[in-house]
A and B are shown apart, each in its own frame.
Chain A
Amino acid sequence: MTSQPLAADPDAGTAAGVQRPADAGTVRRRRRRVGGEPSTVLTVALLACAAYFLLPLAWLVIASTKSNADLFSTFGLWFADINIAKNLRDVVTFQDGIYLSWMGNTIFYAVVSGVGAAALATGAGYAFAKLHFPGGNALFAIVLGAIMVPLTALAIPTYLLFSKVGLTDTPWAVILPSLVSPFGVYLMRVYAAGAIPDSLLEAARVDGANEFRIFFSVALRLLAPGFVTVLLFALVATWNNYFLPLIMLNSPEYFPLTVGLAQWQATSAAGSGSQALFSMVITGSLVSLIPLVVAFLFLQRYWQSGLATGGVKQ
């Protein structure tokens, strides 16, 4: 039972000479002061760069308030008559509200793939970092090599394999390939190596806890920030994926937003009578960005600290 208080005490590793998190904090604060006074020139230069990165998004916000006619007759980077309510209504009602299904599909694919990939990577990364087993180094080398395998080189053969077992044009066709994240395993290994003191595991072993109990009741808690980092990476990768669902899916009701919006765009660019689609594509794009941008704003500190404390420490 003594492993319980050990796990709850983040400073438990100090005895073994592990640097205490508190020390790291004071060092960081001291270092910030060393940086010197804020520089106006540097700030202005970086603000100009920031403006470049925000420009397309500003355009998107402005364009989504315009009617289809104003889109082509007014200056792109300033407002005309505000028409966003009608645009939004068009987006959610067009083709019996298929846009909302696409939004639901995107969220579903991204969350299931993200959680799945992060869970698989956590188990494997922890074992590679903290447990000794024969063949471990060889297996990890294979994982590292796999980071370099271009996923798109796999998409076509995966499609053919899936079509043999009847998995194409189902949600599984998008989710299953997205569960593999060799980079996630690498990240979790590096993170686990830094976040879990060996002395903690040794203490738990001496107390007679078995490896599974140690993992679930001691290690998992310390791995949480790393888990969130990998989850976010995998979630964004699936959310933004276009190639895989484009290949795998035929039925519009299974489309994620990327494939659906690209299809709307192709239809509207083909012209002839469907001109009114342009403002819908733009408004639909804007709405599709909101969930991920909000998620990043809220989780930013969480996943950045995950990266900073262990993610890229080599």
Chain B
Amino acid sequence: MSATVTAPPSVSAVEGRRRGTGLRRRQAVAAYCFVAPFFLVFLAMLVLPLFYSGYLSLFREQLMGGTVFTGVGNYVRALQDQAFISGVLRMARFLVIQVPVMLGLSLVFALALDSGRLRLQRAIRLSIFVPYAVPGVIAALMWGYLYGPDFGPFAQGARALGLATPQFLGNDWMLGSIMNIVTWSFAGYNMIILYAALRSIPPELYEAARVDGAGEFRVAWSIKIPAIKPALLLTTIFSVIGTFQLFNEPSLLRILAPNVIGVGYTPNLYAYNLAFTNQEINYAAAIAFLLGFVIMVVSYAVQLGAVRRERRS
């Protein structure tokens, strides 16, 4: 591709065109210099580990030391591994419940802020957003204390009212409790992205609708939400990626409830435990690779679904 650019301009070309070609070539050289630093780090820190991971996943450790080539053996094993499968399914369940709830909340908050009909707008926006500045580890730690069946304020309150102690960290509620932590952490972040998108809609788009007597809800539903579809898609895909990579919250809550959260509660937790507790590096690489594949497929499906819906309407 670069050959067309580095080819010397023909002698018969008019003066102006020759000048243009030289300019374009200088521009291309500069462009490569601008992107080179990023791509250097990109290759070393993203592409290389990715290929290395794929390479590792094709081998198997032997009991007597050394590794042997096993082809897709690790992948076959993973697809039959109950711990891995149940972890992926758990994340799928997490995805279909938590992501719509969180993004729904973010969208409602963003629309409320954008309607210009809120008092204390700034304070509300900041309060909802501030959890984004709280590391996942600290969020899990705080909610872990709040959830506590002995000393947590919810348990204390329930006891004072003579109600049964809510078992937030029990088997039945754990996934919901983690959903709550993730929603708490990221609803505000997504709200800001959607809010920024709403603010960039040209007002002329709905001033006409208002003149025609459309109410705030109608304007939001028929004009504002369709206008920010790309931002909604972006936040959805980021949420999908984040969900499948869930690690911090379950690994912190595992300290409090080791019997509820097993080594394979999330695929990522599983890969971590395989690599660093069981020393099964090659199998862990296969799990990580497969997880990455699942994420790619799901995010691609989300995008495809969005494009198709766009075409239909």
Q: Which residues of A contact B (CB under 8 A)?
A: 27-28, 30-32, 34-40, 42-43, 45-47, 49-57, 59-60, 63, 71-72, 75-77, 119-121, 123-124, 126-128, 131-136, 139, 143, 146, 148-154, 156-158, 160-161, 176-177, 179-180, 182, 185, 205, 210-212, 215, 236, 239-240, 242-243, 247, 257-258, 261-262, 265-266, 269, 281-282, 285, 288-289, 292-293, 295-297, 300, 304, 307-309, 311-314
Cβ of A265: which chain B residues have Cβ within 8 Å of it? 141, 252, 255
Closest CB-CB distance, A193 to chain B, in whole Å? Answer: 13
B197 touches A312 (CB 8 A): yes
- Considering only CB atoms, which chain B residue lies closest to A62 in the complex? B153
Quote the shortest CB–CB distance from A186 to chain B (angstroms): 9
Given known contacts A46-B124, A289-B138, A312-B231, A296 and B52 CB-to-CB distance under 8 angstroms: no
Which candidate, B58-66, B67-75, B143-151, B304-312, is the interface stretch facing chain A?
B143-151
Question: Tally of A-B residue pairs with Cβ under 8 A?
Answer: 301
Q: Are B141 and A261 in contact (CB under 8 A)?
A: yes
Identify 10 residue pairs between A and B in the complex whose beta-carbon atoms are under 8 Å apart, listed by A's number.
A46-B118, A59-B146, A75-B153, A124-B39, A127-B31, A135-B1, A148-B237, A180-B46, A289-B138, A312-B197
B299 within 8 A of A: yes
Are A149 and B50 in touch, CB under 8 angstroms?
Answer: yes
B31 touches A314 (CB 8 A): no
Binding site for A on B (CB under 8 A): 1-2, 4-5, 23-24, 26-35, 37-39, 41-42, 44-46, 48-50, 52-53, 56, 105, 109, 112, 115-120, 123-124, 126-139, 141-143, 145-146, 150-153, 156, 184, 187-188, 192-193, 196-197, 199-200, 202-203, 207, 210, 216, 230-231, 234, 237, 241, 244-245, 247-248, 251-252, 255-256, 268, 271-272, 275-276, 281, 284-285, 288-289, 291-292, 295-296, 299
For the complex formed, measure the closest distance between the CB of A300 and the CB atoms of chain B, giving whole angstroms.
Answer: 7
Closest 8 CB pairs of A and B: A35-B116, A76-B153, A211-B30, A314-B230, A50-B127, A127-B34, A133-B31, A240-B135
